[in-house]
Structure 1
Amino acid sequence: MTRLVLVLGDQLSEGIAALRSADKGSDVVVMAEVAAETDYVAHHPKKIALIFAAMRKFAERLRSDGWNVRYSELDDTNNSGSIVGELLRRTEETGAQEVIATEPGEWRLIEALQNAPVAVRILEDDRFIASHKEFEDWARGRKALRMEYFYRDMRRKTGLLMDGDGPEGGKWNYDHENRKPAPDTINTAPMQFTPDDTVAAVLDLVEARFGKTFGDLRPFHYATEPGQAKRALAHFITHGLPKFGDYQDAMLDSERFLYHALLSAYMNIGLLDPLEVCQAAEAAYRAGDAPLNAVEGFIRQIIGWREYVRGIYFHEGPEYPRRNRLNHQRGLPPLYWGAETKMRCMRQAVAQTKEEAYAHHIQRLMVTGNFALLAGVNPAEVHEWYLSVYIDAFEWVEAPNTVGMSQFADGGVIASKPYVSSGNYIDKMSDYCSTCAYDVKTKVGDGACPFNLLYWHFLDRHRERFEGNGRMGNMYRTWDRMDADKRKAVLAQADDFLEQMSAGGRV
């Protein structure tokens, strides 16, 4: 009996569950570039190009290994335009009676497969360290689902950076050592790759089809096959990892990547195995080539945070991305799509996002995310923006980071308090403020930094919810000590700023 084996664009691993359960001699692999996946949000052209190029190369590797692969390119005349539609088309061609699929990373696609008019057997995606059951067992009965404690269990399970039953170096977390401001110079950059014929053909297709979408397609230098991704990993381990920890939160006007790895997209689509990435980092520490604070911080991002947010996404259910516990309703400002702004930190973060499909975690959390939260932007629109513009964004990882960590729209499932700050944090961790039109030292009046105004505006309008939060008490005490006239002026100026921004004015 012939079965179809569905392989999605973020499942490009030979050991994926559906392939392991299939018979190479009789089953047919189905892969498809479809409009339903390119168009449900306005994906960055680089993201579409990465996935399509990697898919085409993966299909060829499967064929070389003896698999029968039916591949639909986006511009195929018979392309139905959806995953389910392509499964039905291939069912008619082959007479297959069942589809084997590895669980998608988005509820949207899971529900589409569950409701398909063909029998689909969905297997759990076991490329992750923690299964759904393991996360549910960990979460059961806990008053708070905090990543730090989950991370410790992942360390114990994998044995990474363990010294017997305890953590290497005596501490689980070295984050306090990883908050240094940006250095004067950076002496490395992520590895880049020249497009080959397959990538070039995809770039032409994407340019023709998505040329007006937000984001620069060219130049394109991402890895599109496992060999390249492993070279990018080796390059980072040698040149980036030793200083990654110290400067992972820093931001520089002239340096977009600093010591960051840019490996998340490769892990998220299947070109790199996350555990192998962590093992390579640990090996560098054991060999004396990278310090413990850097290696621990890097590994925590993968087996801690990455695994944790996936667990949260499936634990909380399909409605999670639509949560809005703070009832923020403001529309996403045009400056997120490149409209001119006088705020240098926002201008730089958005420009970098447009050109690279990338910004590192502090730019996302404490610049673009912080501003959206302070301004009261509807988290559904913020979620859609992040899902659209970043090359590593898939809903299982993006939604918890945005809805939970960044926008506090889940009411505290992930974070114990909102991640809000005035301009002072951005000034401390970057060089943006030194050349900004606004003055980060000015709290109110002419030239006052909008982050300063909106910070107090946010705290004031949400006082009933947050003044009892033990981690926010000092903020409210500082606010209360201000002169009453100054508080009134801050709120009025913040209101004027928000009104001008919502009206489409340049802010």
Structure 2
Amino acid sequence: MKTLVPVLGDQLTPTLSSLRDADPADTVVLMMEVGDETTYVRHHKQKIAYILSAMRHHAAALAAAGWTVDYVHLDDPDNSGSFTGEIARAVQRHAPERIVVTEAGEWRVVAMIDSWETLFGLPVEIRSDDRFLCDHAEFDAWAKDRNQLTMEFFYRVMRRKTGLLMDGTKPVGDRWNFDKENRKPAKNDLFMPRPHAFAPDAVTEQVLALVAERFADHPGSLDDFAYAVTAADAEKQAAYFFEKALPQFGDYEDAMLTGERHLWHSILSPYINSGLLDPLDLCRRAEAEYRAGRAPLNSVEGYIRQIIGWREYMRGIYWREGPDYVTRNFLDHHRKLPGWYWTGDTDMYCLKEAIGQTLGTAHAHHIQRLMVTGNFALLIGADPAEVHRWYLEVYIDAYEWVELPNTLGMSQFGDGGLLGSKPYISSGAYIDRMSDYCGHCRYDVKQRIGPDACPFNALYWDFLARHADRLGDNPRLRMPYRTWNRQSAQSQDETRHQSEIFLQSLDNESESAY
């Protein structure tokens, strides 16, 4: 029985469920570069280049392993531009008797796959993506009847399920979470680890040229593209992280430094999310570093929590809440993002640094995303759907299943607290504590009002005042509301006027930009 197995751009795993029991003698693997996937948002140029090059290298590896691979290039003259169109052409070419596919990661692609059986008159078998620890039914069973879907409790279930960092039925160190130990600011260090930079080979050079020509109007730069595009090179970066960076990852995972793009972060999320690396294998290797005495518990626990905690949890939320999750806007925010989110041209140094790095490399670490770009967007009242689109566009590891809950739920509080118990907001003081950014800024982080005052300060208090009816009873915001309510009416008026002037300047800039 001839079988057609479509392999998508985030399924670059040789042991993919759709291939696991297939016979190479009567299987055609179909891989498709299609216009719809590159333009449904204006993806960063490096993101497109990474995915296309990784796909081409994966196709070559499958062919070398004995598979028949039908590969559709983006610039093929007959390319239909869509997954469904390319399935139709492949059915004509190969006359398969069935289609077997691993479930897609995003709702819009699921809708396409669900239509194939009717469109093509062929049986379509959709298999679970078992590269994840928790399938949809298991997550739904965990979430059922819970008033709040607290990640910490889900994470404990995953720890017990995997046995990671467990001593019998108890967590290693008698604590599940060591996050309080992972909030240290960093100083420039000559011995800071530097992730591998992988020089583009001939295949990648061809892709870079294609992207430069076809996606010139997309955000970001292709200069200095240095990502791994093969499983072997991704493994080199993983090995380097475990040896050189993991020991201090925990201490400094929230730190930010001028000019330091990576600090002690792994830079493995692009490879995990596209399928080049196995997330559970990485967690087991991290645990082995702790067990061997080469990495401290706070670093290893923090790293494992990001993968089997946050990553799995975000996927569960995405699938449970459904396609309309993107429309939620609990705080009724509708302001446009400033145009400089696509240029980095702002006097606010922290934003200039985080956005500039993002545009240059398609990467920024989680605190730059959450507490700089995300924090600012939330404080100004940006439309959460637009913020979601920006994050989906600019980050190399952003696929909607993981990016949307992180952005709309955690960063922008658009779901009203389903995912996070409070909005992640701060004044300039947090950024000053966790970075050296403020020392380079034309604004004064110590000032609340005046032409030189850090905009984060007035915006923070104005945000709380604007949303007192929605957030005033939140137990995790009692202290800041108590502080605000102790201020004099004159002080409150000055703060809110300062915020109003700044927000009007953003609106004026948006009007001139559009």
TM-score, normalised with respect to structure 2: 0.97
How far the C-alpha of 1:3 sits from its partner, in A, is 2.3
* One-letter amino acid of the structure 2 residue matched with residue 174 of structure 1: F
Task: Percent identity, please.
Answer: 54
Deviations for 1:357-392, whole angstroms, at most 9, x for unmatched residues?
000000000000000000000001000000000000
Q: Is the Cα–Cα contact under 8 Å of residues 344 and 353 in structure 2 kept in the other structure?
A: no
Q: Which amino acid in structure 1 is aligned with residue 62 of structure 2? A: L
Structure 2 counterpart of 1:254, from 247, 252, 259: 259
Residue in 1 that maps onto 2:6: 6
Where do 1:258-273 residues align within 5 Å?
Answer: 258-273=263-278
Give how far 1:114 is off: 1.1
Match of 2:304 among 292, 299, 302: 299
Q: How far off is 1:22 after superposition? A: 3.0
Q: Distance in 2 between matches of 1:326 and 1:108?
A: 26
Post-superposition offset of 1:218: 2.0
Partner Cα distance (2:223, 2:76) in 1: 24
Q: Tell me by how many angstroms 1:174 deviates.
A: 0.5
CA distance in 2, matches of 1:21, 1:374: 51
SS in 2 for 1:30: strand
Pairing 1:171–2:179 present: no
* 2:48 corresponding residue in structure 1: 48
Paired position in structure 2 for 1:240: 245
Which of 391, 394, 398 aligns to 1:389? It is 394
3-state DSSP of counterpart to 1:19: coil
Mean Cα displacement is larger for which, 117-126 or 290-299? 117-126
Match of 1:281 in 2: 286
Structural mapping, 1:63-78, within 5 Å: 63-78=63-78
Corresponding residue for residue 419 of structure 1: 424
Q: Secondary structure at the match of 2:476?
A: coil
Deviation by residue 1:274-321 (Cα, 9 ceiling, x = unmatched):
011111111111111110000000010001110110011001111112
1:155 matched to 2:159:
yes
3-state DSSP of counterpart to 1:471: helix
Report the Cα distance in structure 1 between the residues aligned to 2:443 and 2:60, rounded to whole angstroms: 53
2:495 aligned residue (475, 490, 497): 490
Query: Which residue number in structure 2 is paired with residue 203 of structure 1?
Result: 208
- Kept after mapping to 1: 8 A contact 2:334/2:382: yes
1:178: Cα distance to partner? 0.3
111-120 or 87-96: bigger deviation: 111-120
Alignment pair present for 1:340 and 2:345:
yes
Which of 130, 135, 143 is 2:134 aligned to? 130
Q: Which of 431, 434, 453 is 1:429 aligned to?
A: 434
- 5+ long unaligned stretches in structure 1: none
Give the superposition deviation at 1:322: 2.1
Aligned AA for 1:305? W
C-alpha deviation, 1:443, in angstroms:
1.0
DSSP-derived class of the 2:497 partner:
helix
Listed as ranges, the matches of 1:311-326 within 5 Å are: 311-326=316-331
Whether 1:349 aligns to 2:349 is: no
Secondary structure at the counterpart of residue 6 of structure 1? strand
SS of the aligned residue for 1:293 comes to: helix
Distance in 1 between residues matched to 2:171 and 2:211, nearest whole Å = 47
The answer as to 2:39 corresponding to 1:39 is yes
Which runs of 5 or more structure 2 residues have no equivalent in the other structure?
Answer: none
Separation (CA, whole Å) in 2 of partners of 1:478 and 1:201 = 58
Match of 1:412, SS state, is coil
Q: Secondary structure at the match of 2:475?
A: coil
Matched, 1:140 2:144: yes
Q: 1: distance between equivalents of 2:346 and 2:223?
A: 24
Which of 406, 413, 436 is residue 411 of structure 2 equivalent to? Answer: 406
Q: C-alpha separation between the residues in 1 aligned to 2:451 and 2:272?
A: 47
Whether contact under 8 Å (1:91, 1:97) holds in the other structure is no
Tell me the CA shift for residue 180 of structure 1.
0.3
The secondary structure found in structure 2 opposite 1:57 is helix
Question: What displacement does 1:332 show?
Answer: 1.4
- How many Å separate the matches in 2 of 1:239 and 1:402? 30
TM-score calculated relative to the size of structure 1 = 0.98
**2:374 touches 2:412 (CA, 8 Å); kept in 1?**
yes
Q: CA deviation at 1:339?
A: 5.2
Q: Which moved more, 1:438-447 or 1:350-359?
A: 438-447
Cα contact 2:344–2:351 (8 A) shared by 1: no
1:12-31 equivalence runs, <5 A? 12-31=12-31
- Pairwise CA distance, 1:184: 3.3
Q: Tell me what 1:451 maps to.
A: 456
SS of residue paired to 2:70: strand
Quote the offset at 1:21 in angstroms.
4.5
CA distance in 1, matches of 2:277, 2:236: 11
Q: 8 Å contact 2:344–2:355 — kept in the other structure?
A: no
Supply the distance in 1 between the matched residues of 2:188 and 2:2 (Cα, whole angstroms): 61
- What residue identity is the alignment partner of 1:44? H
Output the CA distance in 2 between the equivalents of 1:2 and 1:218: 43
Query: CA-to-partner distance for each residue in 1:155-209, whole Å, 9 max, x for gaps?
Result: 1111111111101111110001000011232521111211111111111111111
Moved more, 128-137 or 377-386: 128-137
Aligned residues: 506
Structure 1 stretches of at least 4 aligned residues deviating more than 3 Å after TM superposition: none
How big is the alpha-carbon RMSD for the aligned residues of Structure 1 and Structure 2?
A: 1.2
2 CA distance for matches of 1:191 and 1:303? 25
Q: Partner residue of 2:185?
A: 181
